[in-house]
Structure 1
Amino acid sequence: MKPHQITVVVGNVSERSRTKVLAQAIGDALATALPVQLTVLEIAHLTSVIGVTSNPQDLDLTGRLALQAIANADLVVAVSPVYKGSYSGLFKHLFDLVPPDALVDRPVLLAANGGSDRHALVVDHQLRPLFSFFRALTVPSAVYASEADFDGYLLKDGPLRKRIGEAAAQAAGLLSARRAVKPPLRAVA
């Protein structure tokens, strides 16, 4: 069976981050559930590329390949840190460069992490509406991690791991269902 192409977008602007740890745990759970080929896009590595343009045609090769990885993915995993009650600005800017029809009927697994549980609603109040604009199929279970779910930069065992497994299983179900549908839904849209 051909592996599913999964693009993981890590919305943190620093190299070392809990967001990256969370994204890796989700990628590992997906790889356990089904055959996958992961492409990881880190905002920390794309800042100088995407931060200087508002027109996708002005992007260099790295920027164009990042957009292509998002547009060609069978599943997008969108993971952002929470800054002042919302996703990071450069994370949003990257998706501002994605064509409006690129994610129609595409499964998207949503995840975020913040300093406390007070920010948990960012997934439903910020990320879901963003991907609703794209007419994407957001996975019903999202993942939110607070600082209490980490020991430094290591993910603790506990309820968060269960939520990651649940979201990965739902994403795997959506991917399997999409493979069974001929032609793909987005080709019809």
Structure 2
Amino acid sequence: MMSGTLLIAVSLFILSPLPNIIYQAMDGQDELRKADVIICLGGDPGRVIEAARLLQDGYAPTMIVTNFGPAAHRMRSQAIEWGASPDRVLVEASSRRTADHPAAVAKVGGIDIANDTCIIVTSYTHLLRARAVFEKAGYRNIIMQEPRWERQARDWNGISWRGRFLIFPKLVYEGAGWALYWVRGDV
């Protein structure tokens, strides 16, 4: 009985305009400009490709890939494969979750969090939570960026019910992430 009720509630949510409203409210991207460093958060290969392209396009002299363990080193290899110069890609391999990134990348990259400008590359639905943890850690000059080709391909006039079905897990994941980070005091 409870699973049937949950299925009906989820279906009504997906068919309503609410997912479009929530999804559009998650837009935390800033206007792209030159920075001191590019920080690429782990979690999706598209982020690494975008960070490598930004590095090649001259938006910053170095980039830091940040993830846990071997995944961080794979990110570095991917960035180099996409054209990033090996001597310009630093690795931070101790971060297990978003809240770990700010302190860890500052140590690895020698970032002056109050003064250096940082481009932080992550996924669209993760932009606002990532910004919140970096700001809480004291970063003052942040430029949030998602992969440009993903942004250009997005239909800002509304998402079909199929699209809402596909983004539903991302909305749930980010909602749970915000709740957990709020309880833990990470944001």
Q: What range is the shorter-chain TM-score in? A: 0.3 to 0.5
Normalization by structure 2: what TM-score? 0.36
Bigger CA radius of gyration: 2
TM-score, scaled to structure 1: 0.36
Question: Which has the larger share of helix?
Answer: 2
